[in-house]
């Protein structure tokens, strides 16, 4: 997949840019649409039928909902009932396809285990499904479009090709971000002229993404794979190194790919939503998820948390709790139910594994505890005259969050939940730094790999600090004199070409979030 990214940067994207620029504005959307489907076919072949099916579903049911909403012969209550049924039908079909392709085997195998433990005869034969790239992403976009049309937040889009463009835009089909039609739909169809400033800033951001992906994520990937695949062979210090390395790999990989994707959109004058905002500077676990995979978090908030909170059964339950246990308990009971639904879905969205479900429940527990303790902690710190804005408290907060994030990523990456706990046990009870220093060079990284990765990580940290302080790095560089700008950006390209992890001796590393 890394080779594919290089081909995308060197060949596919430039070809699309040239053809797009040579085409008149009226037909530029056609260039993008053809590029979308060529790109998807290159990745998933005949599985393109699933994308087409989702597109027809979103378009057809959206049109049907729109017609009912403007029908003056139907009263408001009937409109609400009919549009709700159509929306639910669309959601069930979309989720049904996703369930069969991604979760059918997982559910069947676990039913088999339960049946066997209960002494029942049950034989489940897994089916080897082929899964189209990006289905988890465009399925959520279909659901958000239908829900927004039904709720009157989005006008019905009668043009089938606009929906097709929205669901298949080639830069974001693999890893998101998960956009709403209102954010990008019309921009995709507008066919704006490629301005030099967009081309410049777009390729600059792509280059930054390639630095993260090739110099950091792909360099440290062998270490992560080697240790996690056989963690019991290694000392706890080496296990901890692998956990820290995976967290950095995941961040550099995913945020780097987001830079490539958003930079690609920027070239065509299409502003895709941001997916990262310096997550390691977050105040707590909840704030971390406001900064990490932002579009997934906001999607869950808008289409799961709020609907669950306002659902009639939940409201009835809240009234019952209020009657017998008080107003405060009632409020937290609603939050408990809604958060539980959000984080179960978050875990399952990542894939059909118990480690992902555990990962979701892990953050559910942490964030619910944060909600419960927010006011008591404020009172406690005020009582002891602790300055929550002071450096000491910020350091404590950073260390706490750093532990929380890495602990969560350890279970996220582990093959099983049991493996995650065994790794944790190994780290806590069998930790010897001398083993780390004596054996780090046997973990798939030589000195050159380590040096390149450390330099890349240092650059990422510096850029993150500057961005958190409100510094717009690209605009500041653009204000410099021409020779400096050329030297700076050619140096960045040089870094990718010379220090990127590819070529003989390297295994192409798949894009992690492309598999979800």
Q: Per-residue pLDDT tens for 164-195? A: 999 999 999 989 899 999 999 999 999 999 99
Mean pLDDT of the chain: 90
pLDDT > 80? residue 210: yes
Percent of the chain with pLDDT over 70: 95
SS3 of the chain: helix, strand, coil, percent, to 5: 80, 0, 20
pLDDT > 50? residue 504: no
* Residue 253 confidence class, pLDDT cut points 50, 70, 90: very high
328: its two tokens: 């405060």
Backbone region of residue 158 per phi and psi (left: phi > 0; alpha: psi in -120 to 50; beta: other values): alpha
pLDDT of residue 500: 64
* Residue 512 confidence class, pLDDT cut points 50, 70, 90: low
Please tell me the distance from the alpha carbon of residue 105 to that of residue 192, in angstroms, as a whole number: 45
Mind listing the pLDDT tens digit for each residue in 452-463?
A: 889 899 999 999
Query: Residue 505: CB partners within 8 Å, gap ≥ 6?
Result: none
* Residue 5 confidence class, pLDDT cut points 50, 70, 90: low
pLDDT > 60? residue 410: yes
CB burial class (10 A; 0-12, 13-18, 19+) of residue 442? Answer: exposed
Sign of CA dihedral 37, 160, 180, 92: negative
Average pLDDT over residues 250-266: 95
Instruction: Tell me phi and psi for residue 276, to 5 degrees.
Output: -140, 145
20: its two tokens: 């797009």
Mind listing the pLDDT tens digit for each residue in 76-88?
A: 889 899 999 999 9
Domain boundaries, the chain: 15-193, 194-276+433-516, 286-413
Please tell me the distance from the alpha carbon of residue 50 to that of residue 97, in angstroms, as a whole number: 9
Please tell me the distance from the alpha carbon of residue 216 to that of residue 248, in angstroms, as a whole number: 8
The structure's pTM equals 0.92
Name the residue with higher pLDDT: 506 or 343. 343
């Amino acid at each position: 997949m890394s080779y594919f990214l290089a081909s995308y940067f060197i060949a596919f994207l430039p070809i699309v840019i040239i053809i797009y620029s040579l085409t008149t504005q009226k037909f530029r959307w056609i260039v993008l649409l053809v590029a979308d489907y060529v790109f998807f076919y290159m990745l998933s072949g005949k599985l393109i039928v699933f994308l087409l099916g989702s597109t027809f579903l979103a378009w057809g049911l959206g049109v049907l909902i729109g017609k009912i909403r403007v029908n003056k012969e139907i009263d408001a209550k009937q409109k609400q009932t009919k549009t709700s049924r159509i929306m639910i039908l669309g959601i069930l079909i979309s989720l049904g396809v996703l369930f069969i392709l991604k979760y059918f085997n997982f559910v069947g195998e676990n039913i088999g285990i339960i049946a066997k433990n209960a002494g029942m005869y049950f034989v489940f034969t897994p089916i080897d499904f082929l899964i189209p790239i990006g289905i988890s992403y465009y399925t959520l976009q279909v659901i958000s479009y239908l829900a927004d049309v039904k709720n009157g937040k989005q006008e019905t889009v009668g043009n089938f090709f606009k929906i097709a463009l929205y669901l298949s835009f080639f830069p974001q089909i693999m890893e998101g971000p998960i956009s709403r039609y209102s954010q990008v739909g019309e921009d995709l169809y507008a066919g704006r002229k490629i301005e030099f400033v967009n081309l410049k800033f777009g390729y600059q951001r792509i280059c930054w993404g390639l630095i993260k992906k090739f110099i950091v994520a792909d360099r440290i990937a062998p270490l992560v794979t080697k240790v996690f695949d056989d963690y019991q062979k290694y000392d706890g210090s080496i296990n901890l190194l692998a956990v820290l390395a995976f967290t950095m790999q995941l961040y550099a990989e995913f945020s780097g790919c987001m830079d490539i994707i958003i930079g690609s959109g920027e070239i065509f004058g299409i502003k895709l939503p941001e997916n990262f905002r310096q997550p390691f500077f977050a105040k707590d676990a909840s704030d971390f998820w406001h900064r990490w995979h932002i579009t997934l978090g906001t999607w869950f908030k808008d289409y799961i948390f709020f609907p669950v909170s306002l659902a009639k059964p939940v409201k009835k339950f809240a009234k019952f709790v209020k009657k017998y246990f008080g107003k405060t308990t009632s409020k937290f009971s609603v939050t408990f139910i809604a958060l539980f639904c959000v984080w179960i879905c978050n875990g399952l969205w990542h894939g059909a594994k118990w480690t992902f479900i555990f990962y979701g429940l892990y953050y559910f527990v942490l964030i619910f505890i944060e909600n419960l303790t927010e006011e008591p902690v404020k009172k406690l710190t005020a009582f002891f005259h602790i300055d929550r804005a002071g450096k000491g408290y910020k350091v404590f907060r950073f260390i706490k969050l750093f532990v929380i994030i890495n602990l969560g990523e350890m279970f996220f990456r582990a093959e099983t939940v049991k493996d995650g706990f065994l790794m944790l046990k190994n780290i806590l009870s069998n930790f010897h730094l001398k083993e780390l220093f004596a054996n780090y060079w046997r973990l798939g990284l030589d000195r050159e790999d380590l040096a390149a990765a450390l330099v890349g990580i240092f650059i990422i940290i510096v850029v993150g600090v500057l961005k958190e302080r409100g510094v717009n790095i690209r605009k500041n560089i653009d204000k410099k004199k021409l020779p400096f700008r050329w030297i700076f950006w050619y140096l960045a390209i040089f870094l990718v070409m010379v220090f990127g992890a590819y070529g003989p001796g390297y295994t192409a590393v798949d894009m992690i979030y492309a598999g979800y």
